[in-house]
Amino acid sequence: MIKVNKKNVCSMQKSGIAAVVCITMLAAGLTAAVKENYRYLKLGTFVRVKVYALAPFEPSWSRSELAIDDNGNPMLAFFDGARKRPVFMQKRGDMFSSITMDESPSTGENLHVFRDTHGFIHTVYYDEPRNAVKYACNAGGPTFSAHTVDRVSGMRYASPQVAADKDGVHVYYLDGKGVLYHAVYTNNMFMSKPVYREKPLSAIRLFATAAGLRIITRSPQGKLFYMFRNDKKKYITITLASNATDTFAAHFDSRGRMHLLSTSDKRTLSYTTFDGSGTLRVTNIFSADTDISGAALMTERLDTPQAAVSTVSGKTSLLISEPGTTGFKPLDVSSIGRAAGDISLVISYYPYISMLFVDRDFAELRLASFNLESLRPFLQQR
């Protein structure tokens, strides 16, 4: 488990560096608006899947992000395109509560959410009108405090990411030239500096692992790199994929091993494992009939990976692997909703998987819950 210094995390709740945005939890009128229903997977004998329609959503607005609390309840952050506000939503039992994280208009693109070991929720997002990376934290309470991390001239799709460890809150983001910046919250303020400019970057993903912070980056040409900071505080890069990559998703298991999904020709999904020092192991696991538009990856007990993928045509598939094997078996789950763009995937309490996606037919943000054990008999028939 990653140790987090509670003193350095969310202490800006009490500081004066920015106006505190205190938004109370919305009343039951909104929670009641969350629609719950059941869909059935077409697997011979139908398997029932619980699906929640959470909010109207436009796929081009932003990524949505999904995490999990200690009780197995899904937590998500997304950009409310109608109100143009970043929103945090949490499920407790069968009820959803929703909080607006920042009341500034036209904010919330490229959201990322991180839950630390104290249960605090950290989010970062790009505020395009203000050309700024913003950070919001709830400090374990029902309200969020929003702050500007940095303003960088020429910044566009900043791809901000956040994590917290014993040294405090870390925010990584890109400027308009593809330079990687690192901001750390210390002494009641964010201190930011460029840390990597050898190669321009176009996207980043940040992970807190037992071995320290790890970053997966992509160049404008589509090359993927594994990045970390060594004992001399120099950033080291290892090439993961030299071919042009469009969609990618990564996850680090409890042993610190990296699991990566990536597309090299837009229709073939590859799975890569890497322990940080040994040999890369790459296998092709899925071929689509149309271009792949989104993918998600996570690991469950025994560090067994599970994945999901969506295509431009709207087909949605769960890619399920068995413990001790290296292969994936796909199950078409389009009957619960045809996903558009990015997907988020987490384990609730085993054997349940929660999948967050945008339904392209209804333009709704949806959360589906799958029972892995109920799906395995159908995998054995394939």
Residue 27's pLDDT is 28
Spatial strand order in the sheet of 268-274: 248-252, 258-263, 268-274, 281-287
Amino acid at 353: I
β-partners of residue 371 are 352
Residue 340 sits at φ, ψ, to 5 deg, of -125, 120
From residue 309, how far is each of 268, 284, 286, 294, 306 by CA, in Å?
11, 13, 9, 6, 11
Any idea of the CA torsion for 235, 241, 246, 252, to the nearest 10 degrees?
Answer: -60
SS3 state at 73: coil
Residue 3's pLDDT is 59
Spatial strand order in the sheet of 292-299: 292-299, 305-311, 316-320, 329-332
In the chain the domains, ranked by start, together with CATH numbers, are 1-18+101-244 (2.120.10.70)
Identify the CA nearest to 73 among candidates 53, 94, 99, 91. Answer: 91
Spatial strand order in the sheet of 161-165: 161-165, 168-174, 180-186, 189-196
pLDDT bucket at 271, cuts 50 / 70 / 90: very high
Of 16-25, 261-270, 282-291, the one with minimum mean pLDDT is: 16-25
Q: Please name the residue that has the structure tokens 């970390």.
A: 228
pLDDT digits (tens, 9 = 90+) for 133-154: 899 988 766 778 888 899 876 6
Angle at the Cα of 183 from the Cα atoms of 179 and 107, rounded to 5 degrees: 85
Say how far residue 281 (Cα) sits from the centre of its chain: 23
Residue 182 has pLDDT above 70, yes or no: yes
Residue 22's pLDDT is 30
Residue 23 has pLDDT above 50, yes or no: no
Residue scoring higher pLDDT (363 or 309)? 309
Residue 155 sits at φ, ψ, to 5 deg, of -65, 140
Mean pLDDT along residues 297-316: 86
pLDDT digits (tens, 9 = 90+) for 67-122: 888 788 888 888 777 777 888 888 877 788 888 888 876 666 678 888 888 888 89
Q: How many whole angstroms separate alpha carbon 343 and alpha carbon 310? A: 8
Give the CB-side neighbour count of residue 18, counting CA atoms within 13 A.
Answer: 23
Say how far residue 36 (Cα) sits from the centre of its chain: 23
Tallying the residues shown for the chain, one arrives at: 382
This prediction has a pTM of: 0.85
Residue 211 has pLDDT above 50, yes or no: yes
Q: How many whole angstroms separate alpha carbon 13 and alpha carbon 114? A: 17
